[in-house]
Amino acid sequence: MTDPARGGPLTRRSVLGGALGAGLLVFEPDNEAMAETLAALTGSGDPRVHTRAEWRAKPPKNPSRVLSRPPDRIVVHHTASPNSPDSSLEHAFRLSRDIQRFHMRGRGWDDTGQQLTISRGGHVMEGRNRSLSSILAGRHVVGAQALHHNEHTIGIENEGTYMKAPVPASLWTALVDVCHWLCEEYGLDPRRGIVGHRDYNDTTCPGDVLYSRLPELRSAVAARLGGAPASSDPLDSEELDRATGPRARPRTGPGTSMETDATSTVRVQPDPAAGTSPGGTETTSPFSDGP
């Protein structure tokens, strides 16, 4: 089958890109029919991404903004929530609902902030509305996950707290799979394209342990893509500053997690779609307990 607009083969990117461009996907449709369509368009080697319909997402207050260009960085986060031993799919779906409820009710955003979520059991879920269709179309949904850098970054929330605890093997495998998929879809070099949340903002996220494994993550993804594995972290501080602007240095010590610390006062990250003004503060409780 050919794409009449381009005269070439009809691909998932041309189908979804045309639908997004024509405004046919005003919302990421949270229904079973669209979930089946997106699943059919996902490549056989891609990770299994559970759609918003599958984890029973609430409708967003407003549709997310889709940019007709790809992101240039993948931001790795941790949820800073308890390290649950529950590896079930139902737990993963509940995690996605808890995060969405916290972001929408607790922070007043239009929807969940991150584009993708990975549970400790290795289950991958679509986050912000329109994320999956935009990834498959080579476009970028603007999220609310890296203050001042949402316009050019896509965020992955990894369930758990990794300041000292090891990253579960199932989560790590899924994270490598997802980053490989995103680098393929967006044409990113993982040795420069994968960063941690603390590279941009004043936070301990994604935890000392997970952050220390980012060079390993870049190497694993680069090897999968057929490039030479990176032997060390290729982004020194000066190089990263040139690419992204001056970054905040991570905080250390107790009570500093932006995600869930129950006693600390944290900076509210503005939701670009909701128009939340920057500079406010709020005291947060763990999202798994609800806002």
Please calculate the CA angle 77-83-88 and round it to the nearest 5 degrees.
95
Question: Among 124, 135, 127, 69, which Cα is nearest to 103's?
Answer: 127
pLDDT of residue 153: 98
Give the Cα separation of 96 and 117 in Å (integer). Answer: 7
Least reliable range by pLDDT among 27-36, 91-100, 276-285: 276-285
Give per-residue pLDDT as tens, 6-20. Answer: 454 434 454 444 444
Q: What is the DSSP string of 77-112?
A: EE----------HHHHHHHHHHHHHIIIIIS--SS-
Whether residue 57 is predicted with pLDDT greater than 60 in this model: the reply is yes
> What ranges do the domains of the chain cover?
12-289
The CATH T-level fold of domain 12-289 is Lysozyme-like (3.40.80)
Per-residue pLDDT, averaged over 52-76, amounts to: 97
Give per-residue pLDDT as tens, 171-229. Answer: 999 999 999 999 999 999 999 999 999 999 999 999 999 999 999 999 999 999 996 54
What pTM was computed for the model? 0.74
Least reliable range by pLDDT among 131-135, 166-170, 240-244: 240-244
> Confidence band (pLDDT; 50, 70, 90) for 250?
very low
pLDDT of residue 201: 97
pLDDT of residue 45: 72
Give per-residue pLDDT as tens, 112-152. Answer: 999 999 999 999 999 999 999 999 999 999 999 999 999 99
> Confidence band (pLDDT; 50, 70, 90) for 22?
very low
pLDDT of residue 145: 97
The structure tokens listed for 45 are: 């080697």
Give the Cα separation of 185 and 175 in Å (integer). Answer: 15
Question: Among 269, 289, 17, which Cα is nearest to 136's?
Answer: 17
Whether residue 26 is predicted with pLDDT greater than 80 in this model: the reply is no
pLDDT of residue 284: 31
Whether residue 246 is predicted with pLDDT greater than 80 in this model: the reply is no
User: To the nearest whole number, what is the mean pLDDT of the chain?
Assistant: 77
Residue scoring higher pLDDT (33 or 106): 106
- The percentage of residues in the chain with a pLDDT greater than 90, rounded to a whole number, is 62
Residue scoring higher pLDDT (1 or 40): 40
pLDDT of residue 36: 58
Per-residue pLDDT, averaged over 65-79, amounts to: 97
Question: Among 178, 152, 175, which Cα is nearest to 70's?
Answer: 152
pLDDT of residue 172: 98
pLDDT of residue 40: 53
pLDDT of residue 32: 54
* 271, 185, 161, 145 alpha-carbon torsion, rounded to 10°: -10
Please list, in sequence order, all residues whose beta carbon lies within 8 angstroms of the beta carbon of residue 155, skipping any fewer than 6 positions away. 74, 75, 77, 113, 114, 115, 116, 127, 143, 145, 146, 197
Please identify which residue in the block is written with the tokens 């316009």.
151
